[in-house]
A and B are shown apart, each in its own frame.
Chain A
């Protein structure tokens, strides 16, 4: 079972945080990631996103290429300050390859917790539009990192600046 953890693309500013949409740059970054992974024949069986619009929009763009026909699921508790331990317990029960679209600092803390048992290990600074693939560690406890890509790496620096 693979877990694909994604941080939403760059978002517009707005008065209501929950309603903020992706900026044109954010849409382009996420679209480039979707196309890159689609060329590498990555497919996903389930797609979940947080309750915030920018995560849902990110999930919509990615799922169009990587999970065609899959119904998106909204998941509470993975907002920026969500509970990573509760999320880890949930993810352990998932049997299908699942993509999760969420936020910082939640995603960075979730990866740190899944890989080391310490959500404050600070393993990654997850940039907007970045995606990580994790699998259960075949040699022991927890999860292992399989790959991690950012828009900057997938698009090249001229179009996907940090």
Chain B
């Protein structure tokens, strides 16, 4: 089973729009990542988001290629400053592959928690729109691959 951790793509500042939808760059980055995931033939069994507009918009763009375009579902407990217990439990009991679109610092803590058992155990360099693929093997999580929009200049 795989867990895809995604930081929402670049969003406009609060002053521009209080709900902070994706910026033009954020939307373009999400589309590039969706294309990359399509080429890699990545499919998942659910795409979830935190409920914030920037996460939901990112999730719905990625869902177009990885979840047959279904509307991503809102998930509790994955806000920017939430603890990692809830998602860890969900991921370890999920029957299939799960993609979760949320925020920093939560995503970095979650990656570290899975890989080392501790939220501060290591540093994964997320950026807006980055995707980290973790895989649950027999008794532990391993890092499978990681892709970032800044490495998708020419797609």
Q: Is the CB of A153 within 8 A of B147?
A: yes
Q: Is the CB of B146 within 8 A of A145?
A: yes
* Neighbour of B146 across the interface among A40, A122, A140, A147, CB < 8 A: A147
Contacts of A145 in B (CB 8 A): 122-125, 143, 146
- Closest CB pairs A-B (n = 5): A144-B123, A115-B122, A148-B146, A144-B125, A157-B41
B121-153: contact bitstring with A at CB < 8 Å (1 yes, 0 no)? 111110000000000010010111111100111
Q: Is the CB of A123 within 8 A of B154?
A: no
The distance in angstroms between the C-alpha atoms of A147 and B39, with both chains bound, is: 17
B81 in contact (CB, < 8 A): no
Contacts of A122 in B (CB 8 A): 140, 142
Contacts of A152 in B (CB 8 A): 40
A121-146: contact bitstring with B at CB < 8 Å (1 yes, 0 no)? 11111000010000101011011111
14 extra interface residue pairs, beta carbon distance < 8 Å, beyond A123-B122, A144-B122: A41-B154, A42-B151, A121-B116, A124-B143, A130-B145, A144-B124, A147-B146, A148-B146, A149-B145, A150-B144, A150-B145, A153-B40, A153-B145, A154-B40
Contacts of A39 in B (CB 8 A): 153-154
Q: Is the CB of A149 within 8 A of B147?
A: yes
A14 in contact (CB, < 8 A): no
Contacts of A135 in B (CB 8 A): 125
The interface size bin for chain A is 20 to 34
The distance in angstroms between the C-alpha atoms of A41 and B153, with both chains bound, is: 8
Contacts of B1 in A (CB 8 A): none
B35 in contact (CB, < 8 A): no
Q: Is the CB of A115 within 8 A of B123?
A: yes
Q: Is the CB of A137 within 8 A of B123?
A: yes
Contacts of A115 in B (CB 8 A): 122-123
Q: Is the CB of A156 within 8 A of B39?
A: yes
Most buried by A among B39, B40, B140, B148: B40
* Neighbour of A116 across the interface among B41, B122, B142, CB < 8 A: B122
The residue on B at minimum CB distance from A152 is B40
The distance in angstroms between the C-alpha atoms of A157 and B116, with both chains bound, is: 29
How distant is B48 from chain A, measured CB to nearest CB, in Å? 22
A-facing residues in B25-45 (Cβ within 8 Å):
39-41
* Neighbour of B148 across the interface among A121, A146, A150, CB < 8 A: A146
B115 in contact (CB, < 8 A): yes
